[in-house]
Amino acid sequence: MKAIIPVAGAGTKLRPHTYTQPKALIPLAGRTILSIIIDQLVDAGITEFVFVVGYLGEKIQHYVEKKYPQLTCHFVQQNSREGTGHALSLTRDVVGNDEILIVLGDTICECDFKEVIASPYSMLGLKKVDDPRNFGVAELDEQGKITRVVEKPQIPKSNLALVGLYKIKETQQLYDCLQSNIDNRIKSHDEFQLTDALECMIEHGVQFNGYKVSNWFDCGRKDTLLETNAILLKKYKLASNPVLPYENTIIIPPVSIGEGCNIKNAIIGPNVAIGDNTVINYSIVKDSIIGSFSNLYEVVLKSSLIGSDANIRGLSQSLNIGDNTEIDLG
């Protein structure tokens, strides 16, 4: 089995960070989105990966080859972003007749990947959501067999969203449906969608079973990324390394602090992930992600996403305040 991870998107909802960094490489709970996905699949026994790259794809390739030299990795270029269906169609020659496990590069699922891989049927990861109109949606029969999938329906007939996890046994049927949709210009929301190819497979008799994941984290926007960071920090039980003293600093777990950081006169946490070689002085940071090689001085940050090589300097105040006084410095 090969794993396919599409990571060609520009990540426009995470601007300005994705101007210089692929979305999949944004730090998360002391790791990256991509490394969490790869580690999950490696633990499930997968050793061969296909990455569909595009925007800043050379950074993805460099990161993967450096961090995972033991894996067999293929990199397929998607020069024009025309949807997930188009991206996956480009992998046909690399995949051949092998079964595939597709995991979208901005989504983290918590599930038993070994169980999904071992299933005798093709499987689609599902999760109940409050508003399914923003997702691909699956309709199931009483036996858990998927009868229909629709991309972002205006009137959903189900609240089971497709979470970006797809195990495909009938690989050639998938590629035939993808190519047919491209040849016939069958699009949803102005893109060639994987969901439409899956519906084509269902119409041609391929059986898909639903697999309900225990947790699903969409890392495509700032608010969901920070929320996921907090959840994963608690899950991994990360805190500051106790053998590294930080001068006049209070650490409130869970916190992840990278190597080579210089932190003093600060309060860090909870729910903070800091990259390598970052300097923080006279600052308070909580519920935030800070990149590597950044400098923070005299700032108070909460619910913030700070990229790498950033420099932030706040305002220092000298106050002489009498009794019964209230001051709001904004």
Q: What is the pLDDT of residues 191-234, one digit of tens each?
A: 899 999 999 999 999 999 999 898 888 777 788 888 888 988 98
Q: Which residue has the tokens 């590294």?
A: 244
Report strand pairing: 146-151 vs 272-274. Answer: unpaired
Following CA atoms 277, 280, 284, 287 in sequence, which dihedral angle do they give, to the nearest 10 degrees?
-20
The count of residues in the chain is 330
Task: Determine the average pLDDT of the residues in 278-286.
Answer: 94
Q: Got the DSSP string for 68-116?
A: -TTSEEEEEE--S---HHHHHHTTHHHHTT--EEEE-TTEEEES-HHHH
Look up residue 292 and give its amino acid: S
Q: Is 121 exposed, middle or buried (0-12, 13-18, 19+ CB in 10 A)?
A: middle
Two structure tokens written together for 146: 């998927």
pLDDT at 244 over 90: no
Q: Given this model, what pLDDT does residue 88 score?
A: 96
Q: Which contiguous run of DSSP H or E holds residue 182?
A: helix 171-183
Two structure tokens written together for 161: 């969203």
Look up residue 264 and give its amino acid: K
* Residue 321, φ and ψ in degrees, nearest 5: -115, 130
Cα separation of 290 and 306, whole Å? 5
Do residues 197 and 91 make contact, with C-beta atoms less than 8 angstroms apart?
A: no
Task: Determine the average pLDDT of the residues in 132-149.
Answer: 89
* Cα separation of the two ends of the chain: 55
Two structure tokens written together for 206: 């391929």
Which domains occur in the chain, in start order?
2-223 (3.90.550.10), 241-313 (2.160.10.10)
Two structure tokens written together for 5: 């991870």
Task: Determine the average pLDDT of the residues in 8-28.
Answer: 65
Give the tens place of pLDDT for each residue, 26-78: 778 888 889 999 999 999 999 999 999 987 889 899 999 999 999 999 999 99
Q: Is 237 exposed, middle or buried (0-12, 13-18, 19+ CB in 10 A)?
A: exposed
Q: Given this model, what pLDDT does residue 242 score?
A: 47
Q: Given this model, what pLDDT does residue 167 score?
A: 96
pTM for the whole structure: 0.84
Q: Given this model, what pLDDT does residue 243 score?
A: 42
Q: Given this model, what pLDDT does residue 33 score?
A: 87
Q: Given this model, what pLDDT does residue 14 score?
A: 59
